[in-house]
Amino acid sequence: DAKTTQPTSMDCAEGRAANLPCNHSTISGNEYVYWYRQIHSQGPQYIIHGLKNNETNEMASLIITEDRKSSTLILPHATLRDTAVYYCIVRGVSAGGTSYGKLTFGQGTILTVHP
């Protein structure tokens, strides 16, 4: 699996957009970019994933560069409850659309949303 690089920590003011970057320069053509977050003492929560097109759901937007070597997770209006560790993970997906194989977690980005 392609290795990812994320900043160790970031701060964001409540109500502002939080933009979390991720570098994955060794990503291969069939690998997706996944984002998860982990709030303290809880299991990770799926946020969003994408292959090459930008994606948006009720939680966030994912912007993937044209060369797919980096991406940005955007939380449009951060709240205090968005304070968590955010993990960017690159992984392949089966033909049926279900993730397969193991997920390898890096250190992630600690996002702190302050009032």
Sheet holding 84-92, edge to edge: 9-13, 109-114, 84-92, 31-38, 45-50
Q: Which is nearer to another protein, 14 or 21 (CB)?
A: 21
CB atoms within 10 A of CB 43: 7
Contacts with another protein, 8-47, as mask; x by CB under 8 A: --------------------------x-x-x--xxxxxx-
**For another protein, which is the closer residue by CB, 31 or 34?**
34
Site for another protein contains 105 (CB under 8 A): yes
Residues binding another protein: number (CB under 8 A): 23
- The yes or no reply on residue 5 touching another protein (CB under 8 A) is no
Q: In residues, how long is the chain?
A: 115
d(CA 35, CA 100): 15
* Nearest distance, CB of residue 81 and another protein, angstroms: 16
